[in-house]
Structure 1
Amino acid sequence: MDVRDSITDAVRSVLADLGVDPLPTTVQLERPGNPDHGDWSTNVALASAKAAGRNPRELGTQLAECLLAAPPAHVVGVEVAGPGFVNFHLADSWLHEVLADVVAAGVDGWARHDDGVGTRVIVEFVSANPTGPLHAGHGRGACYGDSVARLYDRCGYDVVREFYINDRGLQMQNFAASLAARVAGRDVPEDGYHGQYIDDWAAEMVAETSDGTGDGPGGAADPMEWGYARALASHRSVLESLSIDFDSWFSERSMIASGAIDATLADLQAVGAVYEEGGAVWLRSTDHGDDKDRVLFKSDGEPTYLMPDVAYHRDKFGRADRLVNVFGADHHGYVARMHAAMALLGHDPAELEIAITQLVSLQRDGREVRLSKRTGEMVELAEVVDEVGADAARFTYLLLSVDSPQTFDLDLVASQVNENPVFYVQYAHARIHQIVRRADEEGFGRGALADADLSLLSHPRELQVLRALHELPDIVERACREQAPHQVTTWVRDLASSFHGFYHDCRVLGEGIEPPLTVARLWLVEGARIGLAVALDLLGVGAPTEMWREDQAGEQSEGERV
């Protein structure tokens, strides 16, 4: 049982004995900002006093006295602070129980929840037009969406990762025209795509489909279909290099062929959600909070980009209970119209959650590198991964909340120094394995956890690591609920810092360290390994067992001490 459960059960029992009516539905426990104020604190006396007709401070005092007379497990002190806060001081034994729980659960079980069992979720992300390679800006949404899906999976949801392929419309036509122009040796049209990749792909198309003249044995390829396939192959390749694997690649074209768009329009017409004006078909999106009604079909009968999107979301709701979309910074206006469309189709708009990722400023040598796909100056996501590595790229993209602009410093991210956050975290995991290897070399085994004297773990550095491990289940649950994987990134950085502090101040092996303490600390090291492994997996980042660090002179050294 989590120590908080025993405390809250005892609090409710004492409140009942004190005649508090009604009893609070929940008893909130929080960590005091100042460790001198205890391990846990509750405002339950403040929250209950008014309804009970009591003075908050007096109620808090009575509560503390009763709890201290028959304290819950591990509680060694209870005191009242301020207007009625009740603070609990616990013996270190509660943290030793945490370590036992972490080890028993292991990587597969610690910080795993069942909140979402039976609930289907589709996380749609990236969904870039198949008109060129993914650029560095796409990396943020890609890594974010995949980690959100990992969090949902950790919390018991049935998750599908989906890539929506915008494979029809004007941009696809411009892309095909751009390839065709370069194959024929002409300049790209003004409204076409001008990146170097157009020249490269045009050359590939000629080489693959002809004898070099465009009309050889292989015949001439259709620029639209060849380019479509080439772009998707490029997307798949770089995403897989980041350990991002989609369960579904959903084609916009498929809805034309299946009649899904016509069926969606019929559903909207059946509920009076559309009307005709000026020869166009309009969605009554203002009925549900949009700032204006939106055109679904233009006067020439062609659907706008919105109509297939509405049909696509109708299809997704037929396959899932909850939808999560990850879009770029230019999609703010999209949120209200899509929520309105889903409401008009009879769905709860709250079941469609849309995250908007803010812009990434990519820097190299202290200068910004532009991310424009149209200017030919873009930096491809594949280049970023090649330069800094997949782990460093993913971790960096997940450092901040996606609703904050981000500066991605390529020089720092590629460095093997403590100032590089991903290196600092992974180095903690490598250090753990170095400690275990050294222990094995010296003939020290952990033995059975039941035989270890965990009460020897009393150093502030040791307890700090254990407190961090206790926090992880709450962090995972909240990060999932708020779709905020950066909270896991923050937590794992804190754990790494705590572990490095422990490593510096608390020797595991060596002269003066008694064997029982070595064993206890080896179990602490194992707990830290489990926490790091869980968090790094949620971030899609590897957990290396060996690493090298650059010293101040730029030389590499493992620099280990245990």
Structure 2
Amino acid sequence: MNPDTLSAALLDVIAPLAEARRPGASEGLTAADLVLERPKNRDHGDWASNAALKLSKAVGVNPREFAGEIAERLRAVDGVAEVEVAGPGFINIRLDAAAAGALAKQIVDAGEAYGTGDALAAEVINLEFVSANPTGPIHLGGTRWAAVGDALARLLSSQGAQVTREYYFNDHGAQIDRFARSLVAAHEGRPTPEDGYGGAYIGDIARRVALAYEGDIDALDAEAKQEAFRELGVSFMFDEIKASLHEFGVDFDVYFHENDLHDSGAVERAVARLRELGHIYEADGATWLETTRFGDDKDRVVIKSDGQPAYISGDLAYYLDKRERGFTQCIIMLGADHHGYVRRMMAMCAAFGDTPGVNLQILIGQLVNLVKDGQPVRMSKRAGTVVTMEDLVEIVGTDAARYALTRSSADSNLDVDLDVLQKRTNDNPVFYVQYAHARTHNVARNAADSGVDRSQFAPELLTHETESALLGALQEFPRVVAFAAEVREPHRVARYLEELAGLYHRWYDNCRVIPLGDQPVEAVHRTRLWLNDATGQVLRNGLTLLGVSAPERM
């Protein structure tokens, strides 16, 4: 019996009881209103409900008394073994073994679809992440966003949303100028400019530009030479960024160029729209957006007194462009250094008549530190002062890197211990989960060799306490995924998988799928194979949501 079926049964019990107590009390009540939760202590049953506490006032009865009435009728429902009333009116429900065990077959039959839903089917979401400036390789902060962002896109899609992965390509502004000057200096054998970019990659890119340029690049005047290095250098650097991301398992649907906003008149259109809405004014020769009306600490200059667009002008144009492309939700993932940026962005959203936190959502990621031999790792062979995505992947591999970066809340600082991630032991969380998945396949292979197949399914035989615990965890997977998508926190899936792996290993130690010695193959062995394969499917589905492989052999 799945939670939806149990919720429906609970509604069928409660609605007439409520009506009998107070006509109209059940009007509008749905199964979704009757929240079921897994008790922390499994001795309290398989499911718990606070429905009696929530509804007692509406029906005009003491909650514990109402819970007793509900329990009495719920005990007659097929698949329910026992119902107890606890505390002020909590209802603890225990299913019979057959009803609980039926889940194993449901999961195997559902396959990859188990854990998916349609809660976000109405949403068209633009998810912008990484968006690192094309001035160097992706550093650890960007790598964290690549892992978390791609996992979040997978989560949102699993719940029915139409998701577009978007990379904002910053090819406009002072940072690009500093990058170009650094390339020219490297080409000419001069020291890196004081505000420029260092690292061996600058020399690599400079050499590629000189070779690719059609003609004698040194014959150009200083301005033309810098422009040539800027145009080709940015292109080469961004090609490297895209290649690194692809190797990391992250690809984008849209690469949006900042320059396009300024070349297409999008900035002017955004200012005109805000002027129509009454939020633009002129002062001190500049054009201002009245963001204080929407909670910002000060109004923002949009067009400076010299006629040049201020930085926020691009944000205005870009947000409006996204909304005009039909996105109902725009999610932007930013680094810790952008924390002070949130208020003005939300004010901008409100100025356009949208709802902050709904139409525009901003996620802030904190810093990542690499640790080896108990000491921080700070230097990169190629990038100089920062550790890059390539550095991390070279040391631990893509799977371990992605898993390590997604298994903790993105809004907390993260220390990644390279020594742990290189171990093939249970201390390494990604190994622990992947090994559990590989073990399910090993069990299935050995079962086939021993004549154990899935030709029988007798869920009432799954009575061992480790089977009850394992089934309880498998039941939770769809809820974990749905909640992780709702709160934009992929790490909840990783932590769930680690718990599930632990429960599976304990079950493996206690319950045999393959008979001992010459003992015959029985229904319990075949049924346990269903449970084994169901666990493998859920582990695989969860790892896929995180963009991590699920090996069949380790």
Q: Tell me the TM-score range normalised by the shorter chain.
A: over 0.9
Partner Cα distance (1:236, 1:95) in 2: 47
User: Partner of 1:142 in structure 2?
Assistant: 146
Structure 2: give runs of 5+ residues left out of the alignment. Answer: none
Q: Deviations over 1:297-345 (max 9, x none)?
A: 2222221221111101110111211111111011112211111112212
User: Partner of 2:229 in structure 1?
Assistant: 223
Q: Deviations over 1:223-245 (max 9, x none)?
A: 10111112211211111112111
User: Partner of 1:322 in structure 2?
Assistant: 329
Q: Note if 1:156 corresponds to 2:164.
A: no
Partner Cα distance (1:297, 1:377) in 2: 36
Matches within 5 A, 1:33-432: 33-68=40-75, 71-107=76-112, 109-209=113-213, 222-319=228-325, 320-349=327-356, 350-370=358-378, 376-432=384-440
Letter in 2 for 1:277: A
Change (3 A) 1:280 1:526: same
Partner Cα distance (1:113, 1:491) in 2: 18
User: Does the CA-based 8 Å contact 1:56-1:84 persist in structure 2?
Assistant: yes
Aligned to 1:416, the other structure's residue is in SS state coil
After TM superposition, give the deviation of residue 150 of structure 1 in Å: 0.5
Letter in 2 for 1:522: L
User: Does the CA-based 8 Å contact 2:373-2:419 persist in structure 1?
Assistant: yes
Partner Cα distance (1:188, 1:244) in 2: 32
Stretch moving more, 47-56 or 536-545: 47-56
Change (3 A) 1:273 1:370: farther
Partner Cα distance (1:198, 1:406) in 2: 29
Partner Cα distance (1:525, 1:482) in 2: 30
Change (3 A) 1:273 1:240: same
User: Does the CA-based 8 Å contact 1:23-1:48 persist in structure 2?
Assistant: no
Q: Deviations over 1:170-208 (max 9, x none)?
A: 010011011011101111111111223212322333344
Aligned to 2:482, the other structure's residue is in SS state helix
Change (3 A) 1:504 1:186: same
Change (3 A) 1:415 1:9: same
Q: What's the % identity of the aligned pairs?
A: 41
Change (3 A) 1:361 1:272: same
Stretch moving more, 497-506 or 322-331: 497-506
* TM-score between the two structures when normalised by the length of structure 1: 0.91
> CA-atom RMSD, angstroms?
2.3
Partner Cα distance (1:316, 1:17) in 2: 49
Q: Deviations over 1:1-53 (max 9, x none)?
A: 63422442233235236414523832222222222222222222222223333
Letter in 1 for 2:324: G
After TM superposition, give the deviation of residue 215 of structure 1 in Å: 6.2
Letter in 1 for 2:302: L
Partner Cα distance (2:405, 2:308) in 1: 38
User: Does the CA-based 8 Å contact 1:39-1:88 persist in structure 2?
Assistant: yes
Partner Cα distance (2:177, 2:129) in 1: 23
Partner Cα distance (1:467, 1:405) in 2: 32
* TM-score between the two structures when normalised by the length of structure 2: 0.92
User: Partner of 1:23 in structure 2?
Assistant: 26
Q: Deviations over 1:456-483 (max 9, x none)?
A: 2211222222111111111111111111
User: Does the CA-based 8 Å contact 2:168-2:256 persist in structure 1?
Assistant: yes
Letter in 1 for 2:434: Q
Change (3 A) 1:453 1:64: closer
Stretch moving more, 499-508 or 127-136: 499-508
User: Does the CA-based 8 Å contact 1:252-1:308 persist in structure 2?
Assistant: yes
Structure 1: give runs of 5+ residues left out of the alignment. Answer: 548-562
User: Does the CA-based 8 Å contact 2:105-2:531 persist in structure 1?
Assistant: no
User: Partner of 2:540 in structure 1?
Assistant: 533
Aligned to 1:54, the other structure's residue is in SS state coil
Change (3 A) 1:54 1:373: farther
Aligned to 2:540, the other structure's residue is in SS state helix
Change (3 A) 1:205 1:463: same
Partner Cα distance (2:543, 2:472) in 1: 18
